[in-house]
Structure 1
Amino acid sequence: MELLSAQNLSHSFDYTIYEGLNLTLNAGEKIAIIGVSGSGKSTILNNLSTMLKPTSGVVNILASRDIYALRAQELLRIRRYELGIIFQAHYLFRGFDVRENLELASIMSNQPIDMELLERFEIAHTLKQQIGELSGGQQQRLSIARVLSKKPKIIFADEPTGNLDSQTAHKVMECVFEYVRAQNAGIIIATHDTHIAQMCDRIYTLANHRLVQV
């Protein structure tokens, strides 16, 4: 089952980031886009995840028509229920404790808090703690757990393990990939971590403004 297809995408700011991008994501599939910082990996994720309209081209998600031709209400529904976005920054709500951050995601997606996942991420004991009391690694794990608790069909992850040590990063990504398998979901990851990339089914890099499989 095809979850996402991008056809002939291009994006430019003052210069060309990429052009002629074609990509598909199938159910159960894991795709990595690798490259150095500033190479355009995040721009691709933003184009594919409804966050940034490409200069040209078409993005279809879950058999919808071009997402950038949808009405705002329908696009919001897709973001809310079908997509999960893991950013480099955790974007947790300061002033709220861990449970309240999770409850917000639960209310928005109509999904219960996944305590088993919190146990696996080793943050279940932090439920009553304020966000500012957590370490950077705990905040990132909470951010990822909050996204997975939505039960998204497609996950976009931008350097999801940048704040984690290599051992914790590997454990966390194993959980994420297990979720993809169990839910027949799909994930596209932008990363410079070759170990994480090698855990994926396909690996791409940006070269000469083109997305090239490696």
Structure 2
Amino acid sequence: MSLLQVHNISHRFDYLLFENVNFTLAPKESMAILGVSGSGKSTLLHICSTLLSPNQGTVIVCGHNIYEGNDDTRLKLRRYDVGIIFQSHYLFKGFFANENVELASVISDKSIEQGILERLGIAEFMHYRVGDLSGGQQQRVSIARVLAKKPKIIFADEPTGNLDDKTAQEVMNVLFEYVEKENATLLLVTHNHQLAKQCTYMRHLHVDGLKEEA
């Protein structure tokens, strides 16, 4: 059974951003989406992750046609089945790092493994206030917050943009291992070709759809 199905998605603002986007992802699969700045990569990710309705097309997440259902369906998916890693971390800055992660656990009735915090290199910083952490540390806390939910699908928008190459690779290793262990799916937007090549599929977004990356 596919976890994510995208059929004939098109979107425009005052101009056509992209059209005829189609793909399917099954458990344990991952896809990297590359493209020039402004090609609509983040917009496509938002459409696939329940945040933005497309102008045309169908998105099926965990068996639910998300833009034919009601808001309750999308909220439930975001609470339990969908994890979104944004370019900006969107942590609660007045909270401690561990409180941000624990909040996700409370909402989803799941919990994160201590080993993941250690692999992400943030175990020793979990009792720091978010405002006292570096940008890279905040980004890794936001990734831990998503993994604490144990989602079926992870949508990641430049999750390693604030990290050095070694740390970025370790973070991606954690995500790939999670996908394999939990029978989950990863949709990744990135400019990093080396990381993109490690996904099951690598596609380039053009105005006329997704193309296979050479």
Task: For residue 84 of structure 1, report the CA deviation from its aligned partner.
Answer: 0.4
Q: How many residues align?
A: 213
Where does the alignment leave 5 or more consecutive residues of structure 2 unmatched?
A: none
Query: Does residue 41 of structure 1 match 2:70?
Result: no
CA distance in 1, matches of 2:63, 2:101: 30
Name the stretch that deviates more: 107-116 or 44-53: 107-116
CA distance in 2, matches of 1:112, 1:22: 34
Give TM-score scaled by structure 2 length.
0.97
CA distance in 2, matches of 1:147, 1:74: 19
* 2:59 aligned partner: 59
Distance 1:28 1:113, change over 3 A: closer
Task: For residue 52 of structure 1, report the CA deviation from its aligned partner.
Answer: 0.3
CA distance in 2, matches of 1:148, 1:208: 32
Give TM-score scaled by structure 1 length.
0.97
Query: Does residue 199 of structure 1 match 2:195?
Result: no
Query: Does residue 173 of structure 1 match 2:185?
Result: no
Once the two structures are superposed, the pairs formed by residues 118-197 of structure 1 within 5 Å of their partners are: 118-197=117-196
CA distance in 1, matches of 2:98, 2:43: 32
Task: For residue 36 of structure 1, report the CA deviation from its aligned partner.
Answer: 2.2
Letter in 1 for 2:180: R
CA distance in 1, matches of 2:50, 2:101: 23
- Deviations along 1:67-108, one digit per CA (max 9) or x if unpaired, are 111121122111110000000000010110111111111111
Letter in 1 for 2:38: G
Task: For residue 40 of structure 1, report the CA deviation from its aligned partner.
Answer: 0.7
* 1:17 aligned partner: 17
Task: For residue 208 of structure 1, report the CA deviation from its aligned partner.
Answer: 3.9
- Deviations along 1:99-137, one digit per CA (max 9) or x if unpaired, are 111111111111123211111111111121111111111
> Are 2:35 and 2:206, in contact at CA under 8 Å, matched by a contact in 1?
no
Task: For residue 209 of structure 1, report the CA deviation from its aligned partner.
Answer: 2.9
User: Where has structure 1 moved over 2 Å in runs of 4 or more?
Assistant: none
Give the % identical residues.
51
